[in-house]
């Protein structure tokens, strides 16, 4: 896949910057709802931008990753992938590094509670033993 970066600018007044920066610093220091407060600040400033350019670089696997995973699985070692990437990105990487040869063996856990995630993972482990 490609990792992309958009470069843009926006001319703002000193007054706008100072007010926005104060709000952002408070959001960043917030203990409650920090992520949503920061997102709100970002949304406020990231509007009406002038697009200057876009770059993209190919995000390649490190050399030897597919072969290493193949050796591990050939040796009977179960390999699991746990990631913070977007689900589509993670699946694409897993396919490109030969972690998944057959999409029917794919196990995805998108549970929203600890208890549901534990149940799902226990089911996965049981399925692996079969």
What's the pLDDT tens digit per position in 49-101? 999 999 998 877 788 888 888 898 889 888 887 877 788 888 888 888 888 87
Cα separation, 19 vs 46, whole angstroms: 15
Neighbours of 42 (CB within 10 A): 12
Query: What pLDDT is attached to residue 21?
Result: 96
Share of the chain above pLDDT 90, in %: 46
Cα separation, 56 vs 5, whole angstroms: 6
pLDDT band at residue 1 using 50, 70 and 90 as cut-offs? low
pLDDT, averaged across the chain? 88
Q: Which residues neighbour 116 within 8 Å (Cβ) at sequence distance 6 or greater?
A: none
Vertex 23: Cα angle to 20 and 25 (nearest 5)? 110
| pTM over 0.75, yes/no | no
């Amino acid at each position: 896949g490609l990792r992309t970066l958009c470069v843009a600018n926006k001319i703002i007044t000193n007054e706008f910057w100072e007010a926005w920066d104060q709000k952002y610093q408070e959001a960043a220091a917030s203990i409650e709802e920090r992520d949503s407060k920061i997102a709100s600040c970002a949304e406020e400033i990231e509007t009406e931008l002038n697009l200057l350019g876009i770059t993209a670089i190919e995000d390649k696997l490190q050399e030897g990753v597919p072969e290493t995973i193949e050796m591990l699985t050939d040796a009977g070692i179960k390999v699991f992938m746990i990631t913070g990437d977007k689900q589509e990105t993670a699946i694409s990487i897993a396919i490109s590094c030969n972690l998944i040869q057959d999409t029917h063996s794919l196990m995805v856990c998108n549970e929203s509670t600890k208890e549901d995630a534990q149940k799902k993972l226990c089911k996965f482990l049981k399925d692996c033993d079969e």
